[in-house]
């Protein structure tokens, strides 16, 4: 692919978008900002995740900068106020996540100072009074409850030390609190049976990425995010770096299966992307690369009695002092048979600057690459529970944002005036997804970690979702460090149905990691 042909493809695709806009239908649905609570702390993870308690109408927000949970009064969502800050340093080195059960029990995950130290879950009531705590696996990164509140489930990522000399095993903890927090029973599931020579080694699909230096399967698998099916029987856990999904039977409990999520062909129609931040232009085109889905956030939903999962395909590459898998296409040796036009592809204005993994693609071990794999798929995907794809949004995120924000396309999250900055590396970075009913329609709300904003799809038909709207509470003329650029770096997205809302309207709560702000949107349908 020569420079001229790729530019022509880009112009043609962009012309199609402009000729047939994908903007929301009028009166379909809108997101309107009601209120924001700003910590005033920039780029220190002062608002990472948010959880909502219906009974007290309070928000519990992870403030990583303070190693605490901020408690916000949202009884009036137009005026969020800080009630208290629950400091948790006595329970661990850093707070990582928070969830609220249907019984108004708050669970916060805390990581140990030691890389391989046991993490913990601290249980509290809505007043912030600690009810008890339990130990779980290394680096619990996410926690959620079953719908009835009887169990809490954590994804214990078990990341390695920066020099990669210590690599704890990833795990999943199921905490049964059906007899009260004081009688909590913890079952932690590891992956040792999937190690080479283990009882279940043959069950691990070949495409599950196991590649850390000298790592066993159990060490290499890194659980990221948990979603529970609406019937409360099954947990789905993303294994982000491994491009895989673990399915957990909560009744036993046991790991039922591990699915490899496969790869997305960006040379296929509808799967284009912009791969260069050096061309000074929007250039969405097909390129001979594959995307690893590598989802972060995951949610579940039911349509017509069938349960589905939906993922935000952020992507994540390992990049440590002791080991890094990241490489730029321009610096790699490409197989001449697989890439006859390698010289053109490696031009920085084409795909030479694209960041790919060095851990895949050299299938014969001769030092040159027969295929190239990108972290993330720049999309959302709806999955059947057998691991098959029902729908993927293709290149819609880039096509839509190119049309709506042409001057800030693929901008980064901590600097304005950063047009095209992230094209070579995961694009908008879909981070987390929430699902909720508004009226008689089912919607997905997906946060973009880099560009910012929330994109909304109608997923009432899981096989044919439709784009509804995109809203970005960011001021691209403001100064991020001075706190005048609005919301930056959406990390946590929480849907609140009208029946649980303080104002009787469906709401969306977004915790923004870079700006340290928490914003509540009102969801208006048919207005």
Cβ atoms within 10 Å of 198's Cβ, excluding its own: 16
Average of per-residue pLDDT across 36-53:
98
Average of per-residue pLDDT across 189-217:
98
b/e code 346-356 from CB counts within 10 Å (16+ = b):
bbbbbbbbbbb
Cβ atoms of 264 and 252 within 8 Å: the answer is no
Average of per-residue pLDDT across 56-62:
98
pLDDT at 25 over 70: no
In a domain, 380, yes or no: no
pLDDT at 22 over 50: no
H/E element, 227:
strand 223-228
Nearest to 102 by CA among 152, 66, 142: 152
* Residue in the structure block whose two tokens are 């995109």: 470
* Interior angle at CA 423, CA 487 and CA 309, nearest 5: 70
How does pLDDT run across 464-489, given as a tens digit for each residue? 999 999 999 999 999 999 999 999 99
Cβ atoms of 310 and 442 within 8 Å: the answer is no
- pLDDT at res. 10: 37
Q: For the whole model, what pTM was predicted?
A: 0.94
- pLDDT at res. 16: 33
Cα–Cα dist 29/525, whole Å: 4
Q: How many domains does the chain have?
A: 1
In a domain, 287, yes or no: no
In a domain, 387, yes or no: no
How does pLDDT run across 313-322, given as a tens digit for each residue? 999 999 999 9
- pLDDT at res. 526: 73
How does pLDDT run across 337-378, given as a tens digit for each residue? 999 999 999 999 999 999 999 999 999 999 999 999 999 999
DSSP line for 154-195:
EEE--PPPTTSS--PPPEEEEEE-TT-GGG-EEEEE--GGGS
For the chain, give the percent of residues with pLDDT over 70: 95
In a domain, 167, yes or no: yes
H/E element, 308:
strand 306-312
- Band of pLDDT at residue 28, cut at 50, 70 and 90: confident
In a domain, 358, yes or no: no
- Band of pLDDT at residue 26, cut at 50, 70 and 90: very low
In a domain, 509, yes or no: no
How does pLDDT run across 368-383, given as a tens digit for each residue? 999 999 999 999 999 9
Average of per-residue pLDDT across 208-212:
98
Cα–Cα dist 162/154, whole Å: 23
In a domain, 110, yes or no: yes
Cα–Cα dist 274/282, whole Å: 7
β-pair partners for 380? 312
- pLDDT at res. 333: 98
pLDDT at 430 over 60: yes
pLDDT at 527 over 70: no
DSSP line for 488-527:
--EEEEEEE-GGG-TTSS-EEEEEETTTTEEEEEEEEE--
Domain of residue 176 covers 88-260
Cα–Cα dist 441/498, whole Å: 13
Return the CATH number at 149. 2.130.10.10
In a domain, 251, yes or no: yes
């Amino acid at each position: 692919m020569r420079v001229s042909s790729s530019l022509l493809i880009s112009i043609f695709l962009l012309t199609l978008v402009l000729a047939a806009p994908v903007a929301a239908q009028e009166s379909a649905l809108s997101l309107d900002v009601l209120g924001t609570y700003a910590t005033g702390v920039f780029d220190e993870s002062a608002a990472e995740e948010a959880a909502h308690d219906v009974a007290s109408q309070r928000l519990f927000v992870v403030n990583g900068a303070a190693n605490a949970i901020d408690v916000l009064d949202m009884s009036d969502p137009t005026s969020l106020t800080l009630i208290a800050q629950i400091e948790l340093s006595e329970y661990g080195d850093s707070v990582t996540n928070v969830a609220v059960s249907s019984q108004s029990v708050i669970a916060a995950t805390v990581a140990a100072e030691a890389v391989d130290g046991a993490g913990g879950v601290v249980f509290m009531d809505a007043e912030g009074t600690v009810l008890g705590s339990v130990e779980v696996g290394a680096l619990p990164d996410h926690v959620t409850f079953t719908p009835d509140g009887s169990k809490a489930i954590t994804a214990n990522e078990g990341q390695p030390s920066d020099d990669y000399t210590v690599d704890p095993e990833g795990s999943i903890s199921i905490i049964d609190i059906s007899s009260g927090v004081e009688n909590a029973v913890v079952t932690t599931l590891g992956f040792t049976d999937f190690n080479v020579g283990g009882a279940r080694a043959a069950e691990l699909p070949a495409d599950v990425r196991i590649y850390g230096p000298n790592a066993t399967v159990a060490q290499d698998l890194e659980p990221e995010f948990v979603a529970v099916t609406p019937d409360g029987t099954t947990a789905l856990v993303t294994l982000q770096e491994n491009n895989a999904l673990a399915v957990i039977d909560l009744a036993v409990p046991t790991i039922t299966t591990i699915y490899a999520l496969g790869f997305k062909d960006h040379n296929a129609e509808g799967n284009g992307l912009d791969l260069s931040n050096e061309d000074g232009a929007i250039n969405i085109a097909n390129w001979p690369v594959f995307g690893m889905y590598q989802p972060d956030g995951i949610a579940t939903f039911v349509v017509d009695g069938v349960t589905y999962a939906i993922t935000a395909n952020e992507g994540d590459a390992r990049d440590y002092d002791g080991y890094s898998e990241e490489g730029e296409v321009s610096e790699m040796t490409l197989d001449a048979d697989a890439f006859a036009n390698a010289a053109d592809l490696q031009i920085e204005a084409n795909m030479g600057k694209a960041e790919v993994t060095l851990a895949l693609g050299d299938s014969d071990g001769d030092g040159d690459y027969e295929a190239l794999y990108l972290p993330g798929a720049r999309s959302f995907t709806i999955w059947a529970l057998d691991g098959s794809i029902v729908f993927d949004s293709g290149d819609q995120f880039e096509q839509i944002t190119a049309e709506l924000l042409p001057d800030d396309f693929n901008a980064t999250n901590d600097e304005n005036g950063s047009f095209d900055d992230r094209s070579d590396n995961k694009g908008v970075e879909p981070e987390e997804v929430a699902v909720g009913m508004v009226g008689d329609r089912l919607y997905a709300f997906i946060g973009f970690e880099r560009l910012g904003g929330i994109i909304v799809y109608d997923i009432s038909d899981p096989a044919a979702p439709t784009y509804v709207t995109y809203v970005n509470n960011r001021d691209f003329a403001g100064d991020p460090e001075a706190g005048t650029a609005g919301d930056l770096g959406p990390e946590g997205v929480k849907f609140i149905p009208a029946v649980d809302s303080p104002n009787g309207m469906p709401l969306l709560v977004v915790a923004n990691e870079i700006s340290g702000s928490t914003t509540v949107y009102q969801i208006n349908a048919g207005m």
